[in-house]
Every structure is written in structure tokens, then in C-alpha cells.
Amino acid sequence: MKISLGPWLLLLLPCVSAAQGTPARRVSPGAPRSPLAGLTVASARGGVPSGAMILGDTASPPPGYSNAGLTLKSEVNAWSTAAPLPFGFFACSAATIAGKLHALGYFGYHVEYDAATETWVHRADLPSLRAHTQIAELGGKLYCVGGTTLTDLVEVYDPASDAWSTVAPLSAPRSNMAVAALDGKLYCVGGYESTQVSTVERFDPSTGLWSPCDSLSVGRWSLSAAVLDGRLHALGGHALGGVGHEVYDPNTDSWTILPAPPTPRSLAVAVAYDGRMYLIGGAVIGGASDSSVVEAFDPATGAWSLRAPLPTGRSELGAALVGQRIHTMGGAATGGASDVHELYVDKVELYVHRKD
């Protein structure tokens, strides 16, 4: 299900002409039904009359339009398919830099996705050959941490130069950890050394140094992490003691145990989206190796809810937020490495633009 034909190519019908105050004519009498609360929509490519209105994904109108000062919110809770990866990315990790989606595959093959043109472009590959790494965006750069075979290496990608450099290593070689950026610092959470560990450390790019933080309550590896409302959530993974959800407060340097996801999983991916924490796909502990389960945690209620499932069940997939959509790509699926690229929309806020 694709809710736009570009950044703003949805026509709101009926529309009111600014000049006459009468309903504008329909561009396409046979317009398809939108998933957006049953609105009738049509492509704006076919010539839009003056005064007619279109819906855009951003507050900035396209050329020839003015922002009408109105917005529309709608529930969607659905997945759609986007341009696939160039080939299957096993053990994929992803992050967004300046609206562009970056995906890193097994042994560091690196591609960038432009949602506006729906195309993937090859970027500079990770210089070191490693897998089971994790990446995160910090200060407009991409940080790649640890991996197998066990390494303490940390490399940084600068999109301005399309080149990688090396910064201070982790305190110990580690793989299958989670990484996330919070308050201008990079956090490395848990992972596997000679066994699963509870270690948490933080990198400060202003000093170029790592420092220890309060440890997880239990050792965990193949977990996921993301930031929501200024706090770092660590979810899922293989855990000594079975803890499935903890949250870190940087102001107190302490972790608090929260309700675990109803479906215990490792090798899933966490994304903060629309005020909730999503845990997507993964390998169910004691169950399916390539899960399609999607669950969301609401910090306001402290409860988890089931969301629309992944169309293609996967573990070790990458995910990142671009605009109002969660992009998931790659991973391990039935039959091997996956090139699948699927987008999730829960709620959308669209902006009304009037034809000049």
C-alpha cells in the first residue's frame, strides 16, 4: 500500500477553490480509495486546477503551491513494499543520515536509499571485513561498532567525503551488541564477548573517548536498542535471567526494568516511532526463527500492543525511520539472505497545499 506517488502527489477531494469557494473538479473520476480514513484521492500529475488542494508529506509545498495551514491525521497501521536491496543482506543494520537511509550488509557492503527517487546507490564499503555489527547516526555521521570475528573496532562514515575513518575502540572485543545515540553520545549496550555481557559504555565524540555506564541488570546479546523521549530502551535478546526490556536514564546513569515484549525475541530490531517503541521481527525464543511479529510499547500506559505483522518474516533485519515511515530491509528469511524492503505506517500527518 503506497500512500503517495512522491512527496506530495495526493489530491484531497472534494477541494474548495480559493477564488470561487466552490468544490474543485475531480482530476480523476475513477480515483482509487486511499487508506487514509477513506478519503478519495487522485494523482496530481494530471493537471490540477487553481485553488484545488493536495496532501503533502511535509510542510514545505511543491512549486506552484502554497501551504494552506491545515493538516490531516489518520490511522493506517499497514505495510507496503519498496524498492528491494541490490541483493540479499544477511545481518543487516541501518540508520538515517539527513533523510537518506543507509544499510550495511554482511562484511560491510554499504548502500544508501533515497526515498524521493526510490533508488539505492552504492556507497563506500566498510574498510574492515566484519559481520554482526551495529550502526547508528551521530552528528551526521555513521558509526559502526564491533562485530565478528570478535573485534573492538569502531569506524565512522562521513557522507560528505564518502569515506570511513577509525576512532577509539571499545573496551573489549564484542559482537551482537546494540548501539544507539542519545544526547550527542553513542551507547554500546550488552553483546557477546566470550559469553553474553551486561556491559554498557558511552562514546563522546568531543573527547574521542569511551567511558563506562551503569550495566544492564543481566547479560544480553542479540538485543536491540533505540531512544524514546530522552531515554534508551534495550529490548529482547538472549538474556541471563530472562529480562526483556530495560530503560536507561542518562540523568541518573541507571537502568529500570519495564514490561517485557509479549513475544520474547532475539535478533529483532527496535525503532522509536510516533511516541512508542516498536520491536520488529526477529527470532522467537524457542519458536520461529524468522518472525513477522510487530509489537509496540506505549510508555504512557506501560503496555504493549500488537501491530500489523511484517509481510515477510525476518530476523537480523535492519530498520530506520525516514519521515513518517519505518523502513525495514534485508535480514535472514526462509530461503536465506533477504533483499526485501518493506515500509510501515501507523499514523500519518499530511499537510494541505493549495494550488496557486
pLDDT at 10: 41
Are 66 and 139 contained in the same domain? no
- State the CB neighbour count (10 A cutoff) for residue 156: 19
- Tell if the pTM clears 0.75, that is, is over it: yes
Are 30 and 63 contained in the same domain? yes
Sign of the C-alpha dihedral, residues 53, 55, 60, 63? negative
Examine the pLDDT at 49 and tell me if it is beyond 70: no
Residue 310 maps to a domain? yes
> Does residue 39 or residue 287 have the better pLDDT?
287
Are 136 and 73 contained in the same domain? no
DSSP state of 18: T
What one-letter code names the amino acid at 63?
P
Are 68 and 113 contained in the same domain? no
Report whether 32 contacts 13 (CB < 8 A).
no
| Residues whose CB falls within 8 Å of the CB of residue 207, separated by 6 or more in sequence, listed in order | none
pLDDT at 16: 32
pLDDT at 48: 58
Residue 200 maps to a domain? yes
Averaged confidence pLDDT in the chain: 86
Number of domains in the chain: 2
Are 190 and 57 contained in the same domain? no
Residue 3 maps to a domain? no
Examine the pLDDT at 295 and tell me if it is beyond 90: yes
Are 135 and 203 contained in the same domain? yes
pLDDT at 241: 75
Sign of the C-alpha dihedral, residues 275, 277, 188, 239? positive
- CA-CA distance, 146 to 272, in Å (whole number)? 23
Sign of the C-alpha dihedral, residues 298, 302, 263, 257? positive
For the segment 79-103, the average pLDDT, to the nearest whole number, is 97
Looking at 252-319, list the stretches that DSSP marks H as alpha helix, in order from N- to C-terminal side: none
For the segment 143-156, the average pLDDT, to the nearest whole number, is 96
Report whether 40 contacts 332 (CB < 8 A).
no
DSSP state of 45: G
CATH, residue 148: 2.120.10.80
- CA-CA distance, 115 to 250, in Å (whole number)? 33
> Does residue 318 or residue 72 have the better pLDDT?
318
Reference 93, options 138, 140, 125, 136; nearest CA is: 136
Examine the pLDDT at 248 and tell me if it is beyond 80: yes
pLDDT at 224: 97
Range of the domain at 258: 85-339
